[in-house]
């Protein structure tokens, strides 16, 4: 006891500020003050001494060599190849959204504890805690393949759960490495926190019921925060699954102690594969948005062209710009509607312009998008003998004819007899056409190139036409 007492006396003389290892400070530098014959005063002094020790630990700076040690370990982990087939190591970071504390109830000279690296005295997340959290998250999913075996062995362990996390006979195929704290700033990420027990007697043995006159018992403890480097080694597909379950556990359950009070929640960084997929999806989204804006801009321009159309003075300019916009296939319907509106706005302009000033390509473009009104479908052709001739119809006679539009834009049959009389005009809907393809042939003809046919009259009016009978 003499040696121990002497060491205690020596430790009292060491200034706490000279200690740069939080674990050493917490384990070796706690000095209990002595208050003789005063139990209440002794308890208060002890709590004050413990609080002062925790405050001193929370003010320690980062060990000078720790950032270099962290960088070397990260580089080694990123190059590490697993011992199993197709094994490799994936490294991702997890950031605490609040405070967390692991190993709060571990054995210590104090009432509370916290997990610190033995060499550096820096907070870390033990690999066993990460593995247990992922295992619990997988089990709570309720999928039989990911279920843990119950205590009575009534339900067997799921096949996937056994392969990833192992069982009592062998370890799983994924190794959960300890997660070191990512160095940031100048001080350790340790914060002083307090939890208060309001009914000590009730929680201790239940002998006395909780009451309003119970004296609260505040207990100081340390928590940590920041970002931690998580590394898993194993087959790629199983490492991905482990990270998925770990992500669920860190986000929704939390790691360490006091998770019911909100401690221990963390956000896991995305994997390279996830980032690549999200970047690709974001690029596609931006491309779709740019395409949408481009289409909307061209659609608005079509409306502006219709509004600025002034007739023959700018017909060519408007028409050519509509042609340029039509290169976008997504605007076919809009181009068709715009041309129709332009035609309706300039009925006295466009027919003449298309006939005299437009190029063949422009006329083909106008026809393709149906700028001019489409003729109503003609009466179906009646084959010879399909219907009896009218009783008042006269005999068939030879003649020349063609079909064209009259001054009122009506389809009209123009017929010249063999004797060379003046062309007779007859509304096409009043004439019965016999012979397949005859109407199309007559439409393609003209006064300078009429088509030979046979004509049947009803009095002085043309009642029917047919191809010449040889």
For the domain bounded by 66-196+216-269, which CATH number is listed? 3.30.70.1900
Residue 397 has a pLDDT of 85
> Could you give the CA distance from residue 430 to residue 452 in angstroms, rounded to a whole number?
20
**pTM for the predicted model, two decimal places:** 0.60
Q: Domain coordinates of the chain in residue numbers?
A: 2-58, 66-196+216-269, 286-368, 396-466
Residue 88 has a pLDDT of 85
Q: What is the pLDDT of residues 269-287, one digit of tens each?
A: 988 788 888 888 999 999 9
| CA contacts within 13 A on the Cβ side of 133 | 26
Q: What is the pLDDT of residues 95-150, one digit of tens each?
A: 999 999 999 888 777 778 899 999 999 999 999 999 999 999 999 998 999 998 87
Residue 175 has a pLDDT of 92
Residue 430 has a pLDDT of 83
Q: Which residues of the chain have pLDDT under 50?
A: 1, 376-378, 382-391
Residue 390 has a pLDDT of 45
Residue 422 has a pLDDT of 75
């Amino acid at each position: 006891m003499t040696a121990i007492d002497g060491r205690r006396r020596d430790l009292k003389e060491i200034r706490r500020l000279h200690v740069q290892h939080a674990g050493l400070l917490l384990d070796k530098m706690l000095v209990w003050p002595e208050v003789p014959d005063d139990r209440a005063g002794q308890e208060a002094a002890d709590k004050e001494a413990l609080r002062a020790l925790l405050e001193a630990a929370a003010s320690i700076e980062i060990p000078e060599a720790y950032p270099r040690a962290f960088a070397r370990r990260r580089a080694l982990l990123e190059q590490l190849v697993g011992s199993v087939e197709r094994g490799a190591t994936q490294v991702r970071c997890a950031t605490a959204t609040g405070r967390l504390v692991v190993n709060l109830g571990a054995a210590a000279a104090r009432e509370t504890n916290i997990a610190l690296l033995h060499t550096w005295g820096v907070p870390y997340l033990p690999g066993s805690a990460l593995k247990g959290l992922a295992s619990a998250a997988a089990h709570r999913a309720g999928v039989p393949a990911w279920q843990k075996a119950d205590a009575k062995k009534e339900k067997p362990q799921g096949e996937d759960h056994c392969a990833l996390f192992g069982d009592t006979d062998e370890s799983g195929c994924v190794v959960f490495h300890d997660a070191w704290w990512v160095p940031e700033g100048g001080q350790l990420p340790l914060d002083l926190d307090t939890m208060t027990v309001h009914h000590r007697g009730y929680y201790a043995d239940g002998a006395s019921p909780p009451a309003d006159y119970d004296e609260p018992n505040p207990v100081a403890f340390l928590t940590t925060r920041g970002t931690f480097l998580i590394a898993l080694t194993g087959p790629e597909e199983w490492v991905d699954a482990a990270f998925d379950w770990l992500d669920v556990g860190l986000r929704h359950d939390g790691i360490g102690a006091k998770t019911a009070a909100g401690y221990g929640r963390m956000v896991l960084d995305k994997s390279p594969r996830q980032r690549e997929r999200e970047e690709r999806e974001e690029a596609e989204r931006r491309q779709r948005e740019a395409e949408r804006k481009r289409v909307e801009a061209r659609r608005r321009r079509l409306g502006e062209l219709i509004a600025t159309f002034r007739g023959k003075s700018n017909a060519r300019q408007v028409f050519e710009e509509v042609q340029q916009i039509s290169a976008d296939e997504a605007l076919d319907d809009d181009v068709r509607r715009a041309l129709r509106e332009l035609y309706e706005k300039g009925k006295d302009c466009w027919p003449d312009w298309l006939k005299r000033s437009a190029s063949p390509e422009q006329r083909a473009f106008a026809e393709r998008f149906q700028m001019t009104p489409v003729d109503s479908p003609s009466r179906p052709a009646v084959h010879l003998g399909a219907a009896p001739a009218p009783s008042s119809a006269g005999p068939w006679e030879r003649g020349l004819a063609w079909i064209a539009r009259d001054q009122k834009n009506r389809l009209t049959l123009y017929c010249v007899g063999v004797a060379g009389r003046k062309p007779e005009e007859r509304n096409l809907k009043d004439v019965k056409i016999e012979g397949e393809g005859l109407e199309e042939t007559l439409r393609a003809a003209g006064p300078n190139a009429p088509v030979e046919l046979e004509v049947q009259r009803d009095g002085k009016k043309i009642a029917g036409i047919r191809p010449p009978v040889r």
